[in-house]
Every structure is written in structure tokens, then in C-alpha cells.
Amino acid sequence: MRYYYCSKTYDAQHKFTFEHDRPSEQTHQFGSLFVCTSDSGAFRQNAFFFDFQNASTFWILGGTGIVLDGGGTLDGTGQAWWDAFPSNSTLQRPIILTVFEGTDVTVRNINEVNSPFWFNLVYGSKGVTYDNLHINAVSTSQSFIANTDGWDIYRSDSVVVKNSVINNGDDCVSFKPNATNILVSNLHCNGSHGISVGSLGQYPGMLDIVENVTSTNIQISNARNGARIKAWAGPNVGSGIVKNITFDGFVETSVDNPIIIDQCYETDAAECAQFPSNTYIQDVWFTNITGTSSGSEKSVVASLSCSPDGRCSDINLNNIDLS
């Protein structure tokens, strides 16, 4: 079954959902401009809310066998939210698009602009593919485009992100707790915090697992980080396992930290030594990574900062050419 949304502007003051649970595939051919509200009060009355990091979203895709296609644009009207955030750090800024408890979901040939928060969240889903997305966040004021991650993958399995261009101000792709069997390929990330595992092990009593993740053929430019793993340390944190992670075929241009493992994330050295991270990192491959650092860390192009007591093991760097 196929639905068409063409040559029309949708001014969305309310939450929006596509859900489908039939055996046949359902395609939404989306050729329109979908403009999300910039009114935070109206949004809070009508939004979807999640229990993870106080997240909320404008739009949900869910169910089985759903496709969002067609060259349309999702406009998050992020400027108003970015301007308000510096004076209101508790402001609950929405995600543009969330795949929630979906199976065999495809999002392709879609443009996303100016998300107030993350652009895409995959939550509790399996078999999700993103193909040929163009993501862009640009501020027209002094306000920073904070937390504009391209994708955050959480409690989800078998996710593919490919053939996309991202211009943003935070992680290009982030593998959040319990993201497994992920392939990320053929991305161009500009202005981002790179391809990131984590952060993990933040919340007491929680076990975070990220395993079997491959990121390949990635271009990263003008970014804070390139290939990154980040885990919390300290007296009141959770635990985690990071296993079988591959960063391969990265071309990096003017990146502050081209390769980084930070097992003392948001923790000073003394506290990290006293309370090492409970997130164990093993079987990690950084291969075929070339390019230039920005020089912000002087001559350092790779930083592998692990907690004491051997909490990192089998970390491999092969064919690295960074300057």
C-alpha cells in the first residue's frame, strides 16, 4: 500500500505518527514540507515523550513494514529552540523523527533541517534502514546548534545508516546503550562530534551493551572528534560492555581528535583513578584512517585514555596515516 504527500506544506502543531502492523509493506511517499512548531508550550501539550534522557519527538514511525520515502523535507524550526536553550537548560527540545518499536522500517530520500535536538532516534526497534538522507542544522544567530545528533540508536538491533550527508553540531551517529549489529557506511559528516560509541555507563544500576558495530567509508571534516568511544567513570555510575567495534576507511579533515577512546568521560583524572569506569572495552579496530587533525591537541592525533586495571583490551590500530 502506498500513500502520497506531495506539493503541500504541513504546519504541524500536533504530534504526528505513522504506524503499520500488517504483513504487507506500507509506503508513505513524502514529497512535502513538514514544518514543526516552534511553540514550546504547544509542543509540550501534544508531544510524544520517552523515558530516555528526557527525550521527546515530533514524529513517530512504528509497527512493521513501513517505508518513508519521496524527497520531502522535515523542518524542525530549531532556531527558536536553540535561542531559548542557553537561558533555559531544562527546555525539553524535540527530536524530528523517531522510529519507535518498529520492525523492518525504511527511511530514504528525505531531507531534515534544523532539528531542535537530535535529528533521528531509533528506540526499541529491529531491522531499520536509513538511506540517502540530507541533514542540515544552521543557526542564524549567536546560539549554538546544541545536541543536534544525526542519529542516536538505543535498545535497537540490526540498524543500517548509509549514503547520507550530515552538517550538524554534535555526534554524526551515536550508538547509545544496547545498540547491537549496526552498519554505518558512506557518510559525509561536517562540523560534528564524529562517529561515537556512547556515552555509556552513565546511570547507576544500568548495564549498557554496544557490540558488533561497523562504521566504514566515512568522511569527517571540521569536527571535534572522528572515531570515538566514550564511557563514564566515577563513584555513582553504571556499567557496560563495548565489544567488536570497527572503524574502517575514515578520511578526516581538520578534526580535533581523529581517534579517541575516553574511558574517563566527564570525569577528572584523580576521580577516574579512584573510581575507574565499569564499562569494559574490547575487540576494537581502527583501520585505514587517514587525514589531518586541526592541531587543537597539538601533535596528538590519537588518544586512548583507559581507566586503570585493564578495562580496555585488544585495541588495534592498523594503517593509520594522520598528521
The residue type at 258:
P
Domain assignment present for residue 278? The answer is yes
214, with CB counted inside 10 A (0-12, 13-18, 19+), is: middle
DSSP 8-state symbol, 84: H
State the pLDDT confidence band at 5, using cuts at 50, 70 and 90.
very low
- 214 shares its domain with 320: yes
- Stretch 27-39: mean pLDDT: 74
Residues 217 and 309 in one domain: yes
Q: CATH number, domain at 197?
A: 2.160.20.10
Q: Distance from CA of residue 84 to its chain's centroid?
A: 22
- Whole-number pLDDT of residue 150: 99
Residues 241 and 312 in one domain: yes
Do 258 and 219 share a structural domain?
A: yes
The C-alpha atoms of residue 152 and residue 179 are separated, in whole angstroms, by 9
Does one domain contain both 244 and 177? yes
CA atoms within 13 A on the CB side of 20: 22
Both 177 and 322 in a single domain?
A: yes
Q: Do 182 and 319 fall into the same domain?
A: yes
User: Residue 299 corresponds to which cell in the numbers above?
Assistant: 601533535
Domain boundary among 100, 127, 142: 142
188 and 132 inside one domain: no
Q: Is residue 184 part of a domain?
A: yes
Indicate if 98 and 233 belong to the same structural domain: no
Would you state the pLDDT for residue 70? 84
* Total domains in the fold of the chain: 2
* Lowest-pLDDT range of 6-15, 42-51, 189-198, 301-310: 6-15
The pLDDT assigned to 31 comes to 67
Report, as an integer, the average pLDDT of 13-30. Answer: 61
* Residue/partner pairs of 299-305 with CB below 8 Å, 24 or more apart: 300/257, 301/258, 301/259, 302/258, 302/259, 302/260, 303/257, 303/259, 303/260, 303/261, 303/262, 304/259, 304/260, 304/261, 305/260, 305/261, 305/262, 305/263, 305/264
Phi and psi angles of residue 25, each rounded to the nearest 5 degrees, phi first = -70, 140
* DSSP string computed for 166-235: EE-SS-SEEE-TTEEEEEEEEEEEESS--EEEEEES-STT-EEEEEEEEEEEEEEEEEEEEEEEEEE-SS
- Could you give the C-alpha distances from 277 to 18, 237, 241, 252, in angstroms and in order? 40, 8, 11, 29
Is the per-residue pLDDT at 8 higher than 70?
no
Q: Region 11-26: what's the mean pLDDT?
A: 57
Quick one: pLDDT at residue 39? 81
Share of the chain above pLDDT 70, in %: 91
Shared domain check, 187 and 61: no
215 located within any domain: yes
Answer whether residue 160 is part of any domain: no
Among the options 20, 28, 134, 193, which is catalytic? Answer: 193
Same domain, 132 and 240: no
Domain of residue 47, residue span: 1-142
* Residue 162 belongs to a domain: no
Q: Is 269 helix (H, G, I), strand (E, B) or coil?
A: helix
User: Tens digit of pLDDT for each residue in 138-167?
Assistant: 999 999 999 999 999 999 999 999 999 999
Mean of per-residue pLDDT scores for the chain:
91
CA 34 and chain centroid, separation: 22
150 closest CA partner among 163, 138, 132, 167: 167
- Our answer to whether residue 193 is catalytic in this structure is yes
Give a yes or no: residue 161 inside a domain.
no
Boundary residue ending a domain (125, 142, 159): 142
Q: Is pLDDT above 90 for 22? A: no
pLDDT band at 310, cuts 50/70/90? Answer: confident
Instruction: Kindly state whether residue 150 falls inside one of the protein's structural domains.
Output: no
- Asked if residue 177 and residue 88 are part of one domain, the reply reads no
Other beta carbons less than 10 A from residue 222's beta carbon: 15
Within-domain flag for 148: no
